[in-house]
Amino acid sequence: MLNLVLFGPPGAGKGTQAEFLVKTFDLKHVSTGDLLRAEIAAATELGIEAKKFMDAGNLVPDSVVIGMIASLFKANPDTKGFIFDGFPRTVAQAEALDQLLNSNNAPISGMLSLEVADEELIGRLLNRGKTSGRSDDADSSIIENRIKNYHIQTSPLKEYYGLQNKLTEVDGMGSIEEIAERLKLGVETL
Ligand code: AMP
């Protein structure tokens, strides 16, 4: 199995690039942000609870996202591999993911980390907010909080996967096609 973590701050281009990697390597795309937004759209109890955190630009509690991932694994026993986008976002989530995957004998193959400067991220997210309909993309203070939370809670995962020799840093600046090509190369050299 090829199990990839597509990593990077909000606005790094993970969603766009995940779509490309899904097609190239025939993987199942797992975006916890998309799963949470689907719960909100369906007005489930989980969605209503998660929305409070998301609207403020904070992370949803680990137990909620880990539970969603565990159910997703059960529902997709025959996939060739997963590409995780926006998950894991904390060390506790990474540990839970390792446990779930190791029990299936299909560990993470590698983490591809998209490197983009903060100033560029804010511009990209505000721009996306004009068309995405996402309230967390429309307000610069919420965007700044998401980036701050990324640095505090999420960026330590680079060390987590680095210590397992699974980290590949990829330049996230340039055209979508250029970045896609760098990612493809990154996967091929894992
Ligand atoms: P995203 O679509 O990945 O930008 O996620 C949008 C929002 O959903 C984030 O700002 C968080 O509030 C929440 N979220 C998505 N994935 C996670 C996760 N793995 N852990 C905690 N919160 C998450």
The amino acid at residue 2 is: L
- Taking the C-alpha atoms of residue 27 and residue 145, their distance in angstroms, rounded to an integer, is 31
Bridge pairing between strands 110-115 and 4-7: parallel
- Taking the C-alpha atoms of residue 173 and residue 188, their distance in angstroms, rounded to an integer, is 20
Share of the chain above pLDDT 90, in %: 97
* Gap from CA of 59 to ligand 1 centroid (Å): 6
* Gap from CA of 88 to ligand 1 centroid (Å): 9
Q: What is the pLDDT of residues 101-132, one digit of tens each?
A: 998 889 999 999 999 999 999 999 999 999 99
Active site (annotated) includes residue 128: yes
Q: In a mutational test of the pocket of ligand 1, which residue from 31, 32, 69 has the highest number of ligand atoms less than 8 Å from its CB?
A: 32
Active site (annotated) includes residue 146: yes
* Gap from CA of 186 to ligand 1 centroid (Å): 25
- In the three-class reduction of DSSP (H, G, I as helix; E, B as strand; rest coil), residue 5 is classed as strand
Q: What is the pLDDT of residues 7-53, one digit of tens each?
A: 999 999 999 999 999 999 999 999 999 999 999 999 999 999 999 99
Which protein residue's CA is at the shortest distance from atom 11 of ligand 1?
59
* Gap from CA of 63 to ligand 1 centroid (Å): 13
Active site (annotated) includes residue 124: no
Active site (annotated) includes residue 37: no
Environment class of residue 74 by beta-carbon count within 10 Å: exposed (0-12), middle (13-18) or buried (19+)? exposed
Active site (annotated) includes residue 89: yes
Query: Please, are residues 128 and 26 in contact by the beta-carbon 8 Å criterion?
Result: no
Structure tokens at 45: 């109890």
